Amino acid sequence: MSRYNEAKEIYAKIGVDTEKAIETLMNVPVSVHCWQGDDVVGFDSKEALSGGIQTTGNYPGKASCPEELAADIEKAFSLIPGKKKLNIHACYAVFENGDFADRNEIQPKHFDFWVRFAKKLGIGLDFNPTCFSHPMVKDGLTLSSPDETTRKFWVDHCKACIKISEYFAEQTGIPTVMNIWIPDGYKDIPADRMGPRARFKKSLDEILSVPYDKSKVYITLESKVFGIGVESYTVGSAEFTLSYSANNGLTPLMDNGHYHPTEVVSDKISSLLLFNEKVALHVTRGVRWDSDHVVLFDDETKEIAKEIVRNDALDRVFIATDYFDASINRISAWITGVRNLQKALLFGLLEPSDEFKKLQDENDMTSLMVKQEELKTAPIGDVWEEFLMRNSTESDYLTAVKEYEKTVLANR
């Protein structure tokens, strides 16, 4: 008997249908961030990365033009099983005929390069205004700036991004998630916490005055607790973004690097699902801080995945990755992180969650602990291999990555 068939029987004995799990996982889209490929640089400005986020490392072979980035994404996607979307930041605009436009004036046509790419791969596109790494970020502030010219510039940028998101959805036939995140905040104790938040609120109201088709574009709002140089106060705190989203029909986005170190996103998902039709996630891995390390098959990633699966919310949670490691092969980083997220989802799908819920309700926490622990060493690896095979991918991607490094990256 094949290893998969044996695993299938083992899981069947505990009431888990591996065929159903594989089938379900096939259809879960993961929105893969384009910015792992070039250390969050983009193509529209020569500014250094700002906004309190940081990439470290200088592994050779970084993509430095649209063609290289697209080729790297295509390579990575060919080695990632399952359904994917591509998540683009506004700073990745491609000015094809030299018709440069600043961020407040970007248009759908500046993203035709990515629309063609998405159509070629048969995938959907997600989008993000880029409110960092730009000379119009004034004193670390964008949508919350007290300077009207600055604030308006970023309002116009976000308005332009809604139009582009709508264009993506129309062109690909797949809804686009547009995530707003601003880096605004203060290094040290502010005298006025309300003012910047009131201006951010006003800016969002202005941005949302742009009519858009809500079945095509989902606008999400991402919170953050601190950034480098923004340690004492962030404008877009958890309370702000949750409240704004709830009151204005936006979707809240939780990045699991954006909370205090002992707070976990896995514990927050159920609450947000009770009060929101959709919930969005940036899956990342913070090591001691919001360091955006490559996602691993670790406990919190599994716990996040389990929460989505056991609450039957795979179609209500927009799952995206968000990490950037410049110290290792960037294509490998992409594949490893996305595969681990998918593996965590499979882990959740291979849990007999109805039985576990029942044990909890009967307060048989003894059995629950024993069974949960037993499940950790069940043969998930064999089911994962089967999933890879059915997607025409295999567990060894390192050989292909090394080959690409030798033949393509080394020549850059």
> Can residue 330 be called a binding residue for Zn ion (CB under 5 A)?
no
171: its two tokens: 């062109």
Give the other-Cβ count within 10 Å of 263's Cβ. 12
> Can residue 382 be called a binding residue for ligand RNT (CB under 6 A)?
no
Choosing from 258, 278, 293, 306, the catalytic residue is 258
For Zn ion, which stretch binds (CB under 5 A), given 67-75, 239-247, 322-330, 387-395? Answer: 322-330
154 is catalytic: no
51: phi > 0 → left, psi -120 to 50 → alpha, else beta; which?
left
- x/- letters, 265..304, toward ligand RNT (CB under 6 A): -----------------x-------x--------------
Choosing from 72, 166, 222, 325, the catalytic residue is 222
DSSP E strands, 211-250? 217-222, 233-234
Identify which of 151, 118, 69 has the alpha carbon closest to the alpha carbon of residue 331.
69
Q: Running DSSP on this structure, what letter comes out for residue 395?
A: S
Q: Which helix (H) or strand (E) covers residue 209, if one does?
A: none
Positions in 21-80 near ligand RNT (CB under 6 A): 35, 40, 53
| # chain residues binding ligand RNT, by CB under 6 A | 11
Rg (CA), the chain: 22
191: its two tokens: 């005298």
Find the shortest distance in angstroms from Cβ 263 to Zn ion: 15
Q: Which helix (H) or strand (E) covers residue 378, if one does?
A: none
Give the integer Cα–Cα distance in Å for 96 and 81.
Answer: 31
322 is catalytic: yes
105 is catalytic: no
Find the shortest distance in angstroms from Cβ 279 to Zn ion: 14
293 is catalytic: no
290 is catalytic: yes
Binding partner at 126 among ligand RNT, Zn ion, none, C-beta below 5 to 8 Å by kind: none
36: its two tokens: 């792992």
Binding partner at 110 among ligand RNT, Zn ion, none, C-beta below 5 to 8 Å by kind: none
Q: Which of 222, 325, 351, 382 binds ligand RNT (CB under 6 A)?
A: 222
Positions in 236-255 near Zn ion (CB under 5 A): 255
Find the shortest distance in angstroms from Cβ 255 to Zn ion: 4
9 is catalytic: no
Find the shortest distance in angstroms from Cβ 86 to ligand RNT: 14
Give the other-Cβ count within 10 Å of 255's Cβ. 24
Give the integer Cα–Cα distance in Å for 225 and 241.
Answer: 11
Q: Which is nearer to Zn ion, 253 or 346 (CB)?
A: 253
282 is catalytic: yes
Find the shortest distance in angstroms from Cβ 276 to ligand RNT: 19
126 is catalytic: no
Q: Which is nearer to ligand RNT, 255 or 307 (CB)?
A: 255
Positions in 245-304 near Zn ion (CB under 5 A): 255, 282
Residues 232, 236, 238: CA angle, nearest 5 degrees: 90
Identify which of 244, 317, 239 has the alpha carbon closest to the alpha carbon of residue 280.
317
39 is catalytic: no
* Residue 248 CB partners (closer than 8 Å, separation 6+): 204, 205, 208
256: its two tokens: 């699991």
Please report, to the nearest 10 degrees, the dihedral formed by the alpha carbons of residues 326, 331, 337, 340 taken in order: -150
> Can residue 322 be called a binding residue for ligand RNT (CB under 6 A)?
yes
> Can residue 238 be called a binding residue for ligand RNT (CB under 6 A)?
no
Give percent helix, percent strand, percent coil of the chain, each to the nearest 5. Answer: 45, 10, 40
> Can residue 224 be called a binding residue for Zn ion (CB under 5 A)?
no
Give SS3 for 384. Answer: helix
> Can residue 177 be called a binding residue for ligand RNT (CB under 6 A)?
no
Catalytic residues: 181, 222, 224, 255, 258, 282, 290, 292, 322
Interface positions with ligand RNT (CB under 6 A)? 35, 40, 53, 128, 181, 222, 224, 255, 282, 290, 322
